[in-house]
Amino acid sequence: MDRGIASGTWEKSDQNSLDLAHARLIYSMRRRRDAAFDGLDLLGEPGWDILLDLFIGELEGTRIQVSSVCLDAGVPSTTILRWLARLEREDIIYRAADTIDGRRRFVRLTEAGRALMENALRAINIPSTFA
């Protein structure tokens, strides 16, 4: 899946690597859990899925287009757009126009959004042996 152009705006560190591994593990576990429920849509948390997706993208140095947010989660685009608007109102994410193609918009975590995700992942406290 082509999710955008590498941006590399945040400095890499051991903690970033651990946060990335934890976020990937959680996102992967959620996708497997969803598959086990055979698409029944009983366990949806679109806000969390969006934040995980954007956090992973940030740490991988990937800019994520609005149209690509949470494609793997199978969340309807109308739900994604509603959640993006809410997260933007809360100053957790922002949307920015592509300077090359004005029709395309990217979604990023704000500094406050990144701090929230770092705190959440550390609060979950996944042992390093699982990441």
In a domain, 5, yes or no: no
In this prediction, residue 12 carries a pLDDT of: 55
Render each residue's pLDDT in the chain as its tens digit; 131 residues.
Answer: 333 333 444 455 777 888 888 888 888 888 788 788 876 777 778 899 899 999 999 999 999 999 888 776 678 889 999 999 999 999 999 999 988 988 899 999 999 999 999 999 888 877 665 55
Considering only CA atoms, which of 19, 112, 90 is closest in space to residue 60? 19
pTM, two decimals, is 0.77
Asked if residue 120 belongs to a domain, the reply is: yes
CATH code of the domain containing 92? 1.10.10.10
Q: Which residues lie closer than 8 Å to 36 by C-beta, 6 or more apart? A: none
- Enclosing domain of residue 59: 14-124
